[in-house]
């Protein structure tokens, strides 16, 4: 039986993951090094290796956390709820994730752009299964005339694209909007309007 971690061990592990998130989101997996992660974490490289035996181990731990964070809002779509409001709540939660977890979003985007070599199994397994499950709910709502007809998987893709854009292209968004704008507040209002119109049956 494994001994529970001490407070110092918990603190150091969290510091390494936080540093890894900074380094990987800036440099990608290939550009990141254990030396960089150790420096940002304020630990020696041997100390880092006590907690994580390789760069891959740090990266995979971050991806595992990310998948949980990313998928939780989709899991919470309630099949017994009011369809338009359930979908809009998901849209707003995704905007909040883009605002609150920009580094995680960039980490995920970098992994996907590289062909998802370290998380393809997760994408083809749990993620695909969850999307199929929620698509069945969307199809039922469409069949009942409660939301407009459209390809349900592509509706989910559209939500991902239109929300995560604000994290992945944050510099561009802020440069175009200007300093006086709150991109995430404006995005929430715009996407609410957009998807409400899209989802309302004719």
Same structural domain for residues 41 and 75? Answer: no
The verdict on 104 and 154 lying in the same domain is yes
Q: Please indicate, yes or no, if residue 74 is contained in any of the structural domains.
A: yes
How far, in Å, CA of 150 to CA of 154, rounded? Answer: 8
Residue 58 in any domain: the answer is no
pLDDT at 127: 92
Whether the CB-CB separation of 162 and 97 falls below 8 Å is answered with no
Find how far residue 117's CA is from the centre of its chain.
17
Please state the length of the chain.
202
What's the CATH code of the domain at 45? Answer: 1.10.10.60
* pLDDT tens-digit map of 84-112: 999 999 999 999 999 999 888 888 888 88
Residue at 2 is within a domain: yes
Asked whether residue 108 falls in the same domain as residue 186, the answer is yes
> What is the reported pLDDT for 106?
86
For the entire predicted model, the pTM comes to 0.86
Could you tell me if 138 and 148 are in contact, meaning their C-beta atoms sit under 8 angstroms apart?
Answer: no
- Residues 92, 143: one domain? yes
Return the pLDDT at 58. Answer: 95
Burial class (CB in 10 A: 0-12, 13-18, 19+), 169: middle
Range of the domain at 43: 1-53
35 domain residue, yes or no = yes
- Indicate whether 75 and 145 sit together in one domain: yes
109-151, pLDDT tens digit by residue? 888 888 988 889 989 999 999 999 999 999 999 999 999 999 9
Mean per-residue pLDDT, 50-62: 93
Query: Which of 53, 76, 91 represents a domain boundary (last residue)?
Result: 53
* Rg from Cα positions in the chain: 20
Q: Tell me, yes or no, whether 44 and 114 share the same domain.
A: no
Is residue 95 in a domain?
A: yes
């Amino acid at each position: 039986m494994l001994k529970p971690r001490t407070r110092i061990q918990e603190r150091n592990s969290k510091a390494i993951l936080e540093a890894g998130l900074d380094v990987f989101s800036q440099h990608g997996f290939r550009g990141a090094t254990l030396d960089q992660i150790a420096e940002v974490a304020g630990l020696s490289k041997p100390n880092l290796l006590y907690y994580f035996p390789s760069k891959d181990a740090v990266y995979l731990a971050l991806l595992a956390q990310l998948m949980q964070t990313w998928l939780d809002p989709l899991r919470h779509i309630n099949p017994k709820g009011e369809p338009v409001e359930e979908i809009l709540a998901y849209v707003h939660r995704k905007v909040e994730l883009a605002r609150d977890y920009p580094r995680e979003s960039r980490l995920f985007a970098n992994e996907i752009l590289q062909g998802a070599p370290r998380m393809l199994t997760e994408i083809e397994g749990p993620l695909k299964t969850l999307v199929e499950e929620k698509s069945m709910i969307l199809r039922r709502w469409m069949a009942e005339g409660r939301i407009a007809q459209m390809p349900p998987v592509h509706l989910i893709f559209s939500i991902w694209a239109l929300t995560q854009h604000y994290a992945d292209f944050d510099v561009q968004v802020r440069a175009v909007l200007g300093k006086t704008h709150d991109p995430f507040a404006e995005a929430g209002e715009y996407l609410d309007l957009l998807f409400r119109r899209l989802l309302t049956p004719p």
